[in-house]
Structure 1
Amino acid sequence: MNFDYAQAKDVDALHALIESAYRGESAKRGWTHEADLLGGQRTDAKALREIIAADRQVILLTRGGKGIAGCVQLSYVKDGVAYLGLLTVDPALQAAGLGKELLMQSEQFVRENWQSAAIEMTVIRQRTDLIAYYERRGYFRTGENRPFPHNDPRFGLPKSAELEFAVLRKKI
């Protein structure tokens, strides 16, 4: 697999991939979707452009036969800590190890480029299957929960008022 950094020219394809993996009927082809918990969008092109243009943020991606096969957002948080978000794999390619490979590449990137000793993420607390996936890869629940932005449609339209994020962390 070849990994690269997203550029402005990749935004439309990235946006299409992310939406297809997280929302709507196409997302239900894979096991990591949020379509039962949220409607609306997962992100938008403007937010992706801002991430790509920002200092100390990158979107790492890998390409497949039909274009971008997977991606992950990495952000420098503070000395020793990075944040991982938007881990996305084309629903047709899920369960083939690409997500695990993206996680390993992410951990290597933040260690080498930001000297991070830990990486954290937030996962919707109700996504127990996804949390278990991350736990099998060395992430653990910190015990901290963070509020879901219920009133901000840029992050989706919640189908439950109960949604909140669990914070997971891994020492790398």
Structure 2
Amino acid sequence: MSDGLTIRVATLDDLPAIHPVIERAYRGETARAGWTHEADLIQGNRTDIATLAAIVDDPTQRLLVAFLADATIGCVQVSDKGDGLAYLGLLCIDPTLQAGGYGKQLVDAAETCAREGFGARRMEMTVIDVRRKLIAFYERRGYTVSGEKRDFPIPLDPPFFMDVLVKDL
């Protein structure tokens, strides 16, 4: 990878280093250093080590982890949904390194993983519908808003809805 970035499939040993990066990128005050956070929308933890371990242990999923030199700086999850469809989720880059092109490289790696690892011909993802700047980022990567909405996985008041974005691989 360019810029000294290395991306590979995560192991269980990577999880203690990647978990705090995920939390910093999505939630809390530290997330505000970047532009892709949910800190103004959702409180609490984004995930936990047990959930990440389940992803790593599942043969239908891959957690790709990104390193800059020896530092863990981000990740992305790719899930095989069957029938040529893969799902992209949990994309994050450490907030202090966002806007450096690393997220684009992780998306490219996820798409390659979906095509070559799962035989996917199409990728989908969900984004909270009010996160317009993030949706625009994915649109620049070739994703389109499908028009389908899904409920946010955690009940909130008022509720959030997810836009489904899709891309042919």
Same fold (TM > 0.5): yes
Partner of 1:25: 29
- Cα separation, 2, equivalents of 1:135 and 1:19: 25
Aligned residue type for 1:23? R
For structure 2, list consecutive stretches of 5 or more residues without a partner in the other structure: none
Partner of 2:40: 36
Superposed CA RMSD: 1.1
Q: CA deviation at 1:12?
A: 1.4
Q: Does 1:164 align with 2:168?
A: no
- Cα separation, 1, equivalents of 2:114 and 2:78: 8
Pairs aligned (count): 165
Question: After TM superposition, what 4+ stretches of structure 1 lie above 4 angstroms from structure 2?
Answer: none
Q: Does 1:12 align with 2:9?
A: no
Aligned residue type for 1:13? A
1:46 to 44, 47, 50: 50
Whether contact under 8 Å (1:31, 1:94) holds in the other structure is yes
Moved more, 8-17 or 32-41: 8-17
- Cα separation, 2, equivalents of 1:119 and 1:149: 20
- Cα separation, 2, equivalents of 1:150 and 1:6: 26
* TM-score, scaled relative to structure 2: 0.94
- 2:114 is paired with a residue whose SS is helix
Aligned residue type for 1:79? D
Aligned residue type for 1:27? A
